[in-house]
Amino acid sequence: MNYRANVDALRSLGAEAIVTVSSVGSLREELSPGTFVLPSQFLDFTKQRATTFFDGGRVYHVSLADPFCPELSRLAAETGRSVGTPFAEGKTYVCVEGPRFSTRAESAFFRSFADVIGMTLVPEVTLARERALCYVCLAMVTDFDVWADRPVETKEILETMQRNVERMGRILTGFLPRVAVPPACACARALDAAGV
């Protein structure tokens, strides 16, 4: 997937924010399948993806200390509570290359510092910041990663997603109109102090 082309296209069309919906595996007992998660941090364990627009010419050292838009995260959390589907907030998402699932050893390792695992967050989140776009990830836990009793099965993931489509639809129906107003956060100024 050409992540850079997608993010650039959205920016050139006038987008100010990117809202993603993602399925993730759980690395925690308390985050059972069907739980909705709002990550606040991420760890990048991808290996082959272009993660920056600044790989030639002028360089910007963009801060990702807080990689997700605080305003969109707040609005998403409020919306989830208002429709009876609260998010587990403040979680760490570890992004892996895929398409394969983790080994048991990898899963045990990732559990030592992350809460959920997925394959789609990076580099979208970093590219969005480099284009001064707000970014938020609405993640749905579809399975326990392989640290649990049995290996991950694609059938289980698809069944969990199907069961939760309506719940995510209610969140998006309430959330997206709130995103349509000009952002009040600092995301649009991400490059102001980043240039060299």
What are the tens digits of pLDDT across the range 22-69? 999 999 999 999 999 999 999 999 999 999 998 877 888 999 999 999
Residue 55: active-site member: no
**pTM, whole model, 2 decimals?**
0.94
**Choice among 8, 44, 55, 145 that is catalytic:** 145
Distance CA 19, CA 75 (A): 12
Residue 115: active-site member: no
**Residues of the chain above pLDDT 70, percent:** 99
Distance CA 151, CA 64 (A): 33
Assess whether pLDDT exceeds 90 at residue 153: no
> Which residues are CB-contacts of 10 (< 8 A; sequence separation ≥ 6)?
18, 133
8 three-class SS: helix
| Res. 19 pLDDT band, cuts 50 70 90 | very high
The whole-number pLDDT of residue 196 equals: 54
Q: From the CB of residue 23, how many other CB atoms can be counted at a distance below 10 Å?
A: 18
Element (H, E) at 134: strand 134-144
3-189 topology per CATH: Rossmann fold (3.40.50)
**Choice among 44, 66, 115, 143 that is catalytic:** 143
